[in-house]
Structure 1
Amino acid sequence: MTSARPDVLTIGAGVSGLTTAVRLAEAGIRVHVRALRRPEQTTSAAAGAIWDPIYANHPLVLSWSTRSYDVFRAMVRAGRPEVRLVPGVEASRRRIPSPAWAHDLPGFRECAAAELPDGFASGWRYTAPIIDMPPYLAYLERRLVAAGGTLELGHVSSLDGDLAPVVVNCSGVGARELVPDPEVEPIRGQLVAVRNPGVDEFFAEHTEELEEMTYLLPQGDVLLLGGNADKGQSDPEPDAEVAAGIIARCAGIVPAIAAAPVLGHRTGIRPQRPEIRLEHVNLGGRHVVHNYGHSGAGVSLSWGCADSVLEIVRELL
């Protein structure tokens, strides 16, 4: 731990933990982050990270995601290289109306049938942030340190100890054992990184739940291909058969992908939960603020959730 006792101990150094810690530290609160893994080794580092608010459930999802969108857009305006605003298409294999949240995004319009790939029945265009996660997490860590926060590797086995006046639990799928919370379910996601054959717009398949889907996320010279959702799987090793299926599906959208050199594979364990848990729990004078269960929308909700945690912590301190 740090030499001076922190006001807040944040558990977890993924995007939720780091963003929350940055928000607290920049508000003048002494914050220490403890995590099992460095930020670049977390599930967040493996995320494709296109802003999309649909893969999590909570009454505040839209307000949280809107706040994050505004932060990412401001980063682009400030010239931050970790975030891009990218136009593209989200499409469904069923004929469905476009979601209401999409209508307020820059460049929104409905797609004509001729604009959609084979097998897709409806779609809409808009511009969304795409975040290059490994350098973005490094950027968040630098902001944390600049604001006086600290980070160390270590294991928190229980929330029962006298860890700090306030503990913020951003342990992701680890909350299943730490809390314990049996409602948290691991879902393994997998991406394939290929050399970009010239794709400059995203394509994202719209599904109501995390499942096998097709998406292409351009990040300069790299194109991220996805994706899948293996429920109940916590093994981080990439599956060659899953990777081949991802490449084949994406090549159905952009044929040049079939010949694109593979640069690497990414896997991460998403923390699926029926509803995001963001709440304060008083454990007999010890205060825990939970912020986990974001499923596939951790990046999209990160800044909005961090704001809500800050509001709670300010009241407690």
Structure 2
Amino acid sequence: MVTTNLPTPDFTFDPSQLGACTAGVRPYRNGSYRLDAETISQKFIVHNYGHGGAGITLSFGCAAKVRDIVKDHLVSSPGTTEVAVLGTGVMGLTAATLLLDLGLKVTIYADRAPLQTTSAKAGGQWAVSVVEYAGKEGELAEILKTAHREFKNRIGQGYGVLERPNYTATPSENLDVVIKLVPGLIPARQSLSRLPFEHHTKRGFVYRTLLVEPPILLARLKADLDNHGVAFVSKSFASRSDVLTYVPQSIIVNCTGLGSMTLWSDPKMTPIKGQLAMLPPQPALQYLYGQNGYMFPRSDHVVIGGTFEAGVNNERPNKAVCRSLVDHIASLFGRAAVKPLSDIHIHNPFHAPIVNPRVPDV
């Protein structure tokens, strides 16, 4: 039985401060993510996108699949020595990292620096969040095993990977999916007679997972690639033909995320906006927390999020939304008046297909 409360966060928050509110757009793909290859105009194109809110989680696992696809292609094209990667989010950086294993010269093309991408705005919990995988359960299980191993191996190595408990008021579908697909990869959830926090009296659960701090991870991956001589080319592409004309490499790995909606004319792509409130760092908080929203204490910020705005494709944060995020979590600790949650605090817990609803542009 839990008898000792864990430290209570300081919810002091000023949404007008620079960097206190941020927003990103998840690259959700209806049905399943895309991880396959095609040949267009004598270019071998590997697609690796549509991972919703699980890009950080799946990154190294998908990168390993990309490496294997390219390796098999090289058997029929033994003279190929170069490969292009499109995108500097976590999918692009990890794909480039593992492609170096094949002895190829890697060039990355993107219109954003790594710390300007959606990946850099992720909360960072290692879990299967807002990604579809219909008919790909076996493949996803392998991706999860590889990704988890790669992240575990980087704990304490400067990649921003930490082991953390996650306390939840209800079962977490995002973590239960991992337990179901790959039994034993992470410990099964444990039931608690009450969550170990001030003002909490009801039953709950604790999971054991990883926290990956995106700013640290992306900066380190970029530094590693720089050290290996990988070239970064600043380039914005308007269309598929633009890519085929401009990129000289015969192998192209497409990790453009939501950009594939227009760049590769993929009608299955749907933007899902998420907003985050960024509190000052609080090193005493060594846990993750979730209750119709989440709180992930990192070394740079205590990140509070949980908004889900399907069909909204902009990265403009809304101060009122960020304020409501903080007030909601604070109220659960008895540190703010309880306020009803608005409709944007909605997740997709059962991995049902998401359509483009009419959502206020906030």
TM-score, shorter chain, exceeding 0.5: yes
In structure 1, stretches of 5+ residues that fail to align are 206-212, 259-271, 276-317
Over aligned residues, Cα RMSD in angstroms?
3.1
Which of 293, 297, 302 lines up with 1:214 in the alignment?
Answer: 293
State the alpha-carbon separation in 2 of the partners of residues 196 and 108 from structure 1.
29
Which string of whole-angstrom CA distances, capped at 9 and with x for unpartnered residues, describes residues 78-126 of structure 1? 43251111122244289x9x82633625554422242388899875322
Which of 139, 163, 188 lines up with 1:85 in the alignment?
Answer: 163
Provide the residue aligned with 1:166 in structure 2: 251
Letter in 1 for 2:276: L
Letter in 2 for 1:184: M
Letter in 2 for 1:230: E
State the alpha-carbon separation in 1 of the partners of residues 299 and 334 from structure 2.
19
Which of 289, 292, 304 lines up with 1:203 in the alignment?
Answer: 289
Letter in 2 for 1:130: L
8 Å contact 1:93–1:120 — kept in the other structure?
Answer: no
State the alpha-carbon separation in 2 of the partners of residues 190 and 114 from structure 1.
29
Letter in 1 for 2:231: T
Provide the residue aligned with 1:209 in structure 2: none
Q: Tell me how many residue pairs correspond in the alignment.
A: 248
Letter in 1 for 2:166: G
Aligned with 2:272: secondary structure?
Answer: strand
Distance 1:104 1:37, change over 3 A: same
Aligned with 1:92: secondary structure?
Answer: coil
State the alpha-carbon separation in 2 of the partners of residues 23 and 233 from structure 1.
33
User: Which structure is larger by alpha-carbon Rg, 1 or 2?
Assistant: 2
8 Å contact 1:34–1:153 — kept in the other structure?
Answer: yes
1:104 is aligned to 2:194 = no
Distance 1:155 1:85, change over 3 A: same
Letter in 2 for 1:195: P
Distance 1:273 1:13, change over 3 A: farther
Q: Kindly report which structure 2 residues correspond to 1:302-313, keeping only aligned pairs within 5 A, or say none.
A: none
State the alpha-carbon separation in 2 of the partners of residues 36 and 121 from structure 1.
48
Q: Kindly report which structure 2 residues correspond to 1:1-317, keeping only aligned pairs within 5 A, or say none.
A: 7-58=82-133, 59=136, 60-76=139-155, 78-80=156-158, 82-92=160-170, 99=176, 101-102=178-179, 104-106=184-186, 108-115=188-195, 123-160=204-241, 161-162=244-245, 163=247, 164-196=249-281, 198-205=284-291, 213-220=292-299, 222-255=301-334
8 Å contact 2:85–2:254 — kept in the other structure?
Answer: yes
Percent of counterpart pairs with the same letter?
Answer: 25
Provide the residue aligned with 1:283 in structure 2: none
Letter in 2 for 1:236: E
State the alpha-carbon separation in 2 of the partners of residues 131 and 33 from structure 1.
23
TM-score, with length taken from structure 1: 0.69
State the alpha-carbon separation in 2 of the partners of residues 158 and 120 from structure 1.
55
Letter in 1 for 2:206: R
Letter in 2 for 1:188: K
Q: Which segment is superposed worse, 241-250 or 106-115?
A: 106-115
